[in-house]
Amino acid sequence: MSDIALVTGGNRGIGREVCRQLADRGFTVLLTARSEAAGKTAAAEAGAIPMRLDVTDNTSVVGAAAEVERRYGRLDVLINSAAITYDTWQLAESADLAVVHEAAETNLYGPWRMVQAFLPLLRKSSHPRIVNVSSEAASLARMGGGTPAYNTTKVALNALTRMLAAELRPDRILVNSICPGWVATDMGGLGGRPVAEGAAGIVWAATLPDSGPTGGFFRDGRPLPW
Ligand code: NAP
């Protein structure tokens, strides 16, 4: 049986392109989306299998894990790509904390919830990988002001990557944070690089050999400063 990868936020942007590239490599790709219709359309284009999943909804996440268990009995690659709120209109000093809270539900608790629900299935894989799609905006080494909801939730996601990598090392689960670079999507806007280039670094982390890194922060396969 081919390797099985699950991607959150697979209906558009970088997530959809990651699904397409993994399907091209022979993976069985579960393209998940919170809209069933959008997921079906994107999956048909990407050569993937659609599945409804809202990362903020525990019932949805647990239900999807049960469905993957029933159909495949394991998961080889989990890619947490879904994210919201690139809040260029806000500053930390005056940010609407309800907006920050809402962003955390998707950008931090979403991936966290996904990992907890899918860990039993990842443990059944012979080469499990978790890829958290982060951003260089989360690099504390270069942190400036602005986009506070986005930046703080991605910083926390990076912390989650570090903790999970350490905790899951005995299970040989490789866990990494990946920045796709500035990519021309609905979130990135005009001027970014093509989505295929941004997705390639995520596919790199999803297909690392067993000897590959864990607990790292990378773009295009090269380390970024935390
Ligand atoms: P995008 O085009 O805005 O797509 C975001 C995706 O996340 C959509 O599929 C969206 O689904 C999904 N999503 C949002 N909330 C969700 C939820 N509760 N449950 C499930 N799916 C949900 O963004 P993108 O540019 O492709 O970004 C993908 C990843 O790359 C994100 O983690 C982002 O932070 C990261 N990133 C992007 C850039 C960039 O320049 N684009 C740079 C650095 C990092 P709906 O269609 O239903 O809204």
Ramachandran angles phi, psi of 139, nearest 5°? -70, 115
Spatial separation of the C-alpha atoms in residues 160 and 15, rounded to whole Å: 20
Task: State the residue range of the domain holding 112.
Answer: 4-223
Spatial separation of the C-alpha atoms in residues 68 and 40, rounded to whole Å: 17
DSSP 207: T
Strand pairing class (217-219; 222-223): antiparallel
The rounded Cα 176 to chain-centroid distance in angstroms is 10
Mean pLDDT, range 159-184, rounded to an integer: 98
CATH number reported for the structural domain that contains residue 210 in this entry: 3.40.50.720
User: What is the CA(16)–ligand 1 centre distance, in A?
Assistant: 10
With a 6 Å cutoff on the Cβ, whether 83 touches ligand 1 is yes
- Is 109 catalytic? The answer is no
pLDDT tens digits, one per residue of 18-29: 999 999 999 999
pLDDT tens digits, one per residue of 70-96: 999 999 999 999 999 999 999 999 999
Q: Whose CA is nearest to atom 29 of ligand 1?
A: 81
Mutation pick for ligand 1 pocket among 52, 187, 190, 203 (CB with most ligand atoms within 8 Å)? 187
The rounded Cα 16 to chain-centroid distance in angstroms is 11
User: What is the CA(170)–ligand 1 centre distance, in A?
Assistant: 31
Statement: the pTM of the whole predicted model exceeds 0.75: yes
3-state DSSP assignment of residue 79 = strand
Ramachandran angles phi, psi of 64, nearest 5°? -65, -40
With a 6 Å cutoff on the Cβ, whether 82 touches ligand 1 is yes
Mean pLDDT, range 169-181, rounded to an integer: 98
Q: Is residue 129's pLDDT more than 90?
A: yes
Q: How many domains would you assign to the chain?
A: 1
Q: Are 199 and 216 in contact (CB under 8 A)?
A: no
With a 6 Å cutoff on the Cβ, whether 135 touches ligand 1 is yes
Spatial separation of the C-alpha atoms in residues 56 and 101, rounded to whole Å: 12
Mutation pick for ligand 1 pocket among 6, 7, 14 (CB with most ligand atoms within 8 Å)? 14
From 72, 86, 109, 150, active-site residue: 150
3-state secondary structure 3-55: CEEEECCCCCHHHHHHHHHHHHCCCEEEEEECCHHHHHHHHHHHCCEEEECCC
